[in-house]
Structure 1
Amino acid sequence: MSENSQIAKDLIEAIGGKDNIISAAHCATRLRLMVKDQDMIDQERVENIQKVKGAFFNSGQYQVIFGTGTVNRMYDEVVKLGISGSTKSEQAQEAVKAGSGFQRAVRTFGDVFVPIIPALVATGLFMGLRGLVMQEQILGLFGLTPDDISQNFILFTEVLTDTAFVFLPALVAWSAFRVFGGNPTIGLVLGLMLVSPSLPNAYSVASGDVDPIKIFGFIPVVGYQGSVLPAFITGFVGAKLERWIRKRVPEVLDLIVTPFLTLLVMITLALFVIGPIFHSAENIILSIFKAILEWPLGISGLIIGGLNQLIVVTGVHHIFNMLEIQLLEAFGNNPYNAIVTCSVAAQGGAALAVGLKTKSAKLKALALPSSLSAFLGITEPAVFGVNLRYFKPFVFALVGGGVGGFLSAIFGLKATGMAITVIPGTLLYLNGQILLYLLVNIVAIGTAFILTWLFGFSDKSVKDLNKN
């Protein structure tokens, strides 16, 4: 039996055996298990299993942290041992009654927007690389100036950087239909209708070059290029409507009638009701969020950088995905990323201090890889496996995140994308910001490391925790 197979076997036994596990799924770092009886779980035994970096209940799921890469292999091993595999969406439906209404709503936001993020990550990297290539200093190395750049090359880069945002409503509507039980293809077509070239282009309307169409003399009708909230609501309502129609249409007519009525009713609602109302709401939310990020004296960075990982622990941080997307679509930059990356880096700094200071071989083997994971942008192993367990390192990491976030706000750092932070995040700051980006992260890491080393951890705390 391989090492991973043995770990999976030990984990299943510690959770109460196969009969206590309903299904398994996984995300980037965590194995997510639906269990029948929480009382059958031997928490201490789970946490002492090799490669396990922490375990806890969240949103009705027992989540075991293995870290990036490892979790995929552990999921495969668990399924091989007879545990039913499921998607995160299916598990979310099983756990729908878990948590408060607000937590369920935020989880739904995450289910819709998380699948879209990889495309936006790639777009952000393209923006960063274009910013690097177009810098006069870089062009000068090749004896070129910005005027020497071919228009065809610029057009090519615009295809790379603009496409995801121009067709963003199609991505959002597709994902919303998928999450809320509709046909994703119908959602995709509905989203494409929202950005039809037959409608006045949203960007042209915003610049004043084109006027919106006025229906009944007062309802403005435009395309919704780059819009998020109207597409989300349209996808939610459309999926529910499609299911309602399908239940009432004879099976022999379902293929014809259901998609026809769904698209007809929903594009009418989307253009004349949902779009105008929720686009206005979207602009208000964006204005408020942007105003908070622009608070003077670095206050926004201090607060957001200090509290971000606390929000991550509660599991409601996915709501900020929509806001980051809105920032990128509206302004072409994302100051939120620059702030929260410091909170991520600081958790790695605190875990690194624990790993270097402790004499416990097991804790060292846990803390050092967890700090590296945080420096690559994944904080769960460091937060749940090390810092929260000993509490003070987590608190001092929050302080480090606040200090780094404060400097990010003072310097006005703005990412070209989203979702990647710390070391991978350097690719979002290649447009002349890289040195300041490195500085704020080093400050965040150094603050958390020094405070944890001096005041936040000793091996006595390990002994005291083991006693309890």
Structure 2
Amino acid sequence: MSSNEEIAKQVVKAVGGEENIQSIAHCATRLRVMVHDHEKVDVDGVEDIDKVKGAFYNSGQYQIIFGTGTVNRIYEEVTNQGVTGTTKSEMKEESKQQGNRFQRAIRTFGDVFVPIIPVLVATGLFMGVRGLVTQEQILTLFGMAPENISENFILFTQVLTDTAFVFLPALVAWSTFRVFGGTPVLGLVLGLMLVSPSLPNAWEVAGGTAEPLQFLGFIPVIGYQGSVLPAFFAGIVGAKVEKFFRKRVPEALDLIVTPFLVLLIMITLSLFALGPILHIVEGWIFDGTRTLLELPFGLSGLIIGFFNQIIVITGVHHIFNFLEIQLLENLGYNPFNPIVTAAMAAQGGAALAVGVKTKKAKMKALAYPSTLSAFLGITEPAIFGVNLRYGKPFIMGLIGGGAGGFLASILGLKATGMAITVIPGALLYLNEQIIWYIVVNLVGITVAFVLTYLFGFDEKMEENM
């Protein structure tokens, strides 16, 4: 297998050389390249490169899928070769012009949440491990019972599982300031102000053990522990307010005056206007999501499981991050994750059927790694590299996702966290749900595999490619 340095050189050559690269950046799984001339890109050559799991053109960018972790190393090697193009911020400005207004808004939403997701993944894993070690069957192996667990141990696990959500507004405001061109540390402090212990705790207010502060007799003021939208919009407005003052405050006073004015204006605006209004909106969104998830007879799983990967194609699936955070924050569990997991596993099952049935060595070499990637929670290689090429396998994968999602809904599976799925996602179901979680995934995979093998792929389709 080629080294990362060699792969980087091959990528640069395949996209038309350094002179054809307008800008280059990366997200969690993909290397994103904007080129001057699309005709100079050797599409087949890119897909033949080691570690490449698929490539496609979307939103004005040529996107090469490497997968989590790998993409960071390839990007580093590409930049080590002196390939810079434009800056990352300039690339974002160029990308903002691509797609409709809704797509651009969701893409920005994703830019804010992608850096936060690893922390929330870790939190979910901590919850899963706590669920495992506190199970009565596990404790029995060590001659213990639930009542033998010390309070100090419970306190320790609460530090691990609660911190990210308690200070979630600080993480969101920090990342939003960063994305919108403000000073991230100002966003961090603003977010911390929103969860200040001096304010009534949001959870205690919701539980009826505390009352909101009343300003002017009608403005309720509370802390925003676990909230997303107030911090998100505070970050957007705050970054713009900072830019406004940076241009107008003399340089000699900028260090003192600008942070003072930004924090003063934004905490006032956040507590007395943005917070109360957006807290209500957040409640509406949560209620709508919960209503969908509580549809009877497994309809929620059927609908979400079928349509989820269609939404992934549009690139607006980052909105799900916000929905999952709300579910975890308000319910303490995530019923959305097992349904989405089934949808992803099913696309892997469809790609596996193509790999088994195809007679082309090149397609087998692409389908099998794409299948593994889907089973590890990254479906883009299977979707763009295999299933969408032939069309029908993708549809069979959607049907498999609907079947698996239906079962997940009927069984009432509940993840302890978010953002990891299929094989890694098993860590979120260690609290006595693991067998049913495996069954749900196998149903999605099996239905998609059988339908694709029997009806979704044949030699004639290969001949027409």
Q: Does TM, scored on the shorter chain, surpass 0.5?
A: yes
Residue deviations 1:179-202 (CA, integer Å, cap 9, x gap): 111111011001000111111111
Asked if 1:166 corresponds to 2:143, the answer is no
Partner of 2:445: 445
Q: Distance in 1 between matches of 2:256 and 2:348?
A: 55
Contact 1:30 1:63 in 2 (8 A): yes
Contact 1:53 1:384 in 2 (8 A): no
In structure 1, give the amino acid aligned to 2:453. Answer: W
Deviation at 1:25, TM superposition (A): 1.7
Asked if 1:459 corresponds to 2:459, the answer is yes
Deviation at 1:369, TM superposition (A): 1.1
Asked if 1:327 corresponds to 2:327, the answer is yes
SS in 2 for 1:75: helix
Partner of 2:277: 277
Distance 1:341 1:63, change over 3 A: same
Deviation at 1:52, TM superposition (A): 3.4
Partner of 2:231: 231
Distance 1:386 1:81, change over 3 A: same
In structure 2, give the amino acid aligned to 1:289. Answer: T
Residue deviations 1:210-231 (CA, integer Å, cap 9, x gap): 1111001111111111111001
The 5-angstrom pairing of residues 38-49 of structure 1 reads: 38-49=38-49
Distance 1:418 1:45, change over 3 A: same
The 5-angstrom pairing of residues 211-226 of structure 1 reads: 211-226=211-226
Deviation at 1:147, TM superposition (A): 1.1
The 5-angstrom pairing of residues 189-338 of structure 1 reads: 189-338=189-338
Deviation at 1:91, TM superposition (A): 2.6
SS in 1 for 2:63: strand
Deviation at 1:23, TM superposition (A): 2.1
Deviation at 1:89, TM superposition (A): 5.4
- Structure 2 unaligned blocks of 5 or more: none
Distance 1:10 1:155, change over 3 A: closer
In structure 1, give the amino acid aligned to 2:188. Answer: L
Contact 2:293 2:335 in 1 (8 A): yes
Distance 1:459 1:326, change over 3 A: same
In structure 1, give the amino acid aligned to 2:189. Answer: V
Q: Distance in 1 between matches of 2:421 and 2:220?
A: 39
Q: Distance in 2 between matches of 1:116 and 1:89?
A: 19
Contact 2:23 2:87 in 1 (8 A): no
Contact 1:121 1:418 in 2 (8 A): yes
Partner of 2:402: 402
Contact 1:169 1:191 in 2 (8 A): yes
Contact 1:127 1:417 in 2 (8 A): yes
Q: Distance in 1 between matches of 2:90 and 2:379?
A: 25
The 5-angstrom pairing of residues 55-70 of structure 1 reads: 55-70=55-70
SS in 2 for 1:64: strand
Partner of 1:427: 427
In structure 2, give the amino acid aligned to 1:373. Answer: S
In structure 2, give the amino acid aligned to 1:355. Answer: G
Q: Distance in 2 between matches of 1:171 and 1:312?
A: 25
Deviation at 1:401, TM superposition (A): 0.5
In structure 2, give the amino acid aligned to 1:454. Answer: L
SS in 1 for 2:160: helix
In structure 1, give the amino acid aligned to 2:237. Answer: V
The alignment-based identity, stated in percent, is 69
Deviates more, 1:75-84 or 1:4-13: 4-13
Deviation at 1:71, TM superposition (A): 3.0
In structure 1, give the amino acid aligned to 2:318. Answer: H
Q: What is the TM-score normalised by the length of structure 2?
A: 0.96
Contact 2:2 2:50 in 1 (8 A): no
CA RMSD of aligned residues (A): 1.8
Partner of 2:345: 345
How many pairs does the alignment contain? 465
Deviation at 1:4, TM superposition (A): 5.0
The 5-angstrom pairing of residues 84-163 of structure 1 reads: 84=84, 90-163=90-163
Deviation at 1:86, TM superposition (A): 7.2
- Structure 1 unaligned blocks of 5 or more: none
Partner of 2:34: 34
Q: Distance in 2 between matches of 1:371 and 1:273?
A: 48
Deviates more, 1:226-235 or 1:39-48: 39-48
Q: What is the TM-score normalised by the length of structure 1?
A: 0.95
Contact 1:25 1:86 in 2 (8 A): no
Contact 1:8 1:78 in 2 (8 A): yes
Q: Distance in 1 between matches of 2:6 and 2:159?
A: 48
Deviation at 1:7, TM superposition (A): 4.4
In structure 1, give the amino acid aligned to 2:135. Answer: Q
SS in 2 for 1:410: helix
In structure 2, give the amino acid aligned to 1:179. Answer: V
Q: Distance in 2 between matches of 1:329 and 1:228?
A: 10
Distance 1:153 1:11, change over 3 A: closer
Deviation at 1:2, TM superposition (A): 5.6
Q: Distance in 1 between matches of 2:172 and 2:10?
A: 40
SS in 2 for 1:301: helix
Distance 1:358 1:370, change over 3 A: same
Deviates more, 1:193-202 or 1:29-38: 29-38
Q: Distance in 1 between matches of 2:224 and 2:239?
A: 19
Q: Distance in 2 between matches of 1:114 and 1:86?
A: 22
In structure 1, give the amino acid aligned to 2:283. Answer: N
Contact 2:387 2:394 in 1 (8 A): yes
Q: Distance in 1 between matches of 2:442 and 2:18?
A: 45
SS in 1 for 2:33: strand
In structure 2, give the amino acid aligned to 1:423. Answer: I
